[in-house]
Amino acid sequence: MKDIEQLNHSIIEFYDKLSSWEHAVVREKNFSLAQIHTIEVLGSHGAMRMKELADRLGITTGTLTVQIDKLVNAGFIARRPHESDRRSILVDLTDSGRHLYREHDDLHLALTQDITANLNKDERRILQLCLSKMNNEF
């Protein structure tokens, strides 16, 4: 098998395992994966316009509106007018939303610690460098 084919299979296997883990964690909390991803983006990047958030999530604004409505009703997200563009609405996490974000992010951190436990400092640095370069390709 060529190196690139082996790398391809390893990336797919890693994605499948990470996705399975993510689904299990989200299911335990009674959220959809889309809802948690919305919380993650806002937790990482702060308040943003609906269009920007939809673009980051790779969904339409119509689909996002349904997600945001559910998260607003659950008390995790609040809508507020944009300070300089009166036509725009910003969405941001509430205190409950920030708590949920930190809780979920802590689970990701624990997973990262677990799956990199057998890597030394240099291997972790190289992994970080490779992942950064790969992410920049998207």
Counted domains in the chain = 1
**What is the DSSP code (8-state) at residue 79?**
E
Domain hosting 73: range is 32-136
The reported pTM is 0.83
Convert the pLDDT of each residue in 67-115 to its tens digit.
999 999 999 999 998 888 878 889 999 999 999 999 999 999 999 999 9
**Assigned domain for 53 exists:** yes
Q: What angle do CA 101, 134, 41 make, to 5 degrees?
A: 20
**Adjacent-strand bridge partners of 16:** none
**Assigned domain for 113 exists:** yes
